[in-house]
Amino acid sequence: MTDANSIDTTDVRGSCTWCEGSLRPGHFVHAIGAKVHALCSEDCLRAKLRDDAAKRSRVRRRNLKWLVVTTSLVAACITPHDGPLSLRRAAMTPKPPTQSPDAPLPGAFGPEWPPSEESLLEDLGRDAWLHPLAGPFRRMPARDSRVFGAERAGDRPIECRKGHCGVDLGGEIWGEQVRAAHDGIVDRVQRGANDAHGGHYVRIAHHNGTVFTQYFHLAAVARWVEPGVHVKAGDVIGLLGDTGVKESTAHLHFTVSVRPASTLAEYYVDPEPLIALWPLRIPLPSSPVVLVSTEGPPGVPLGGAPVGAVRAHVVAKRKATRAAAKSEEREATEAPAAAADDAPAAESSE
């Protein structure tokens, strides 16, 4: 018999799967599916389990990446051209701005800067104005001598072509009512003798003092019309007459002037294209009801100043005004002139 103590306990059937050490009786066996791993100790078993878990995690991540790439390629191949990829390309390409049908027209919030003759007339044409003389017939200058720019004696502003700075309207009815063409504030009233400068007249400021209308040769001015009083379009401000008229018959001399900013000079514009389109106040026969209508045919302007010459003069006049303002600031010896002195002098239409 062989002594038990002399038996060799070394297991020569193999070595440890993890550390490659010799296997001894009582070793550990780790089975995964059909595979069996023999391990010499518990420490090797734990290390083997951790390594297997790490390998499985790496395999899962690699498979997930391939799944994402494969899915993206398949989606790109089967998606139509107008699908999400095309939408993304369209979103990256800037589109020209489109104007809504209800969007305001360019310049709807005021004239361009610096304003031109066309932009000022366009802005005034869009506003709600009223012909200063009532209908049913639209009164326009009846002859060439009554249009804007018609020849007049004396030194006249160049934007008026050194001639007539307004239009002469009406005269068929002496004493008929003259009405404010637009909402505004009375800027100046002349009730006394003024034969050399248009007789009795009213000057109204509109749009915060950027537009002015003047009504000359009035037979009388309404009592309530005083500087600083608010007027509405259609309010009676006076009666048509012949004060200050030297040669022609009674008529209304009507002017429109603009001053877009306090630093710019005030200058006249031709009101004839405006009054040719402004609505008429039409009284109904034997009725106190009055209609304000735009259904009447537009007037046909007889005159028209050359726009290019007017613009050149306006630019030169603005430069002169700015130079004068800077000179006054440097000197700083005189108080600012009264607001009334800034306006163009009232001129006679005759």
pLDDT at 283: 76
Return the structure tokens found at 106.
């360019």
pLDDT at 313: 52
pLDDT at 271: 92
Residue 63: phi and psi, rounded to 5, are -65, -35
CB 160 within 8 A of CB 312: no
pLDDT at 6: 42
CB neighbour list of residue 229: distance below 8 Å, 6 or more residues apart: 185, 186
pLDDT at 343: 55
Return the structure tokens found at 342.
């800034």
- What letter would DSSP give residue 243? T
pLDDT at 308: 45
Return the structure tokens found at 143.
């002859």
Low-confidence ranges of the chain (pLDDT < 70): 1-14, 18, 20, 24-28, 30-34, 75-115, 117, 121, 124-126, 287, 289-290, 294-296, 304-318, 333-350
CB 255 within 8 A of CB 275: no
Q: Domains along the chain?
A: 13-77 (no CATH), 130-296+305-325 (2.70.70.10)
User: Any alpha helices (H) in 165-306, and if so which ranges?
Assistant: 272-275
Q: How many helices (H) and strands (E) does the chain have?
A: 6, 15
pTM: 0.56
pLDDT at 257: 94
Placement of tokens 């005759």 in the chain: 350
pLDDT at 303: 72
Q: Which of 269, 221, 244, 232 is nearest to 347 (CA)?
A: 244
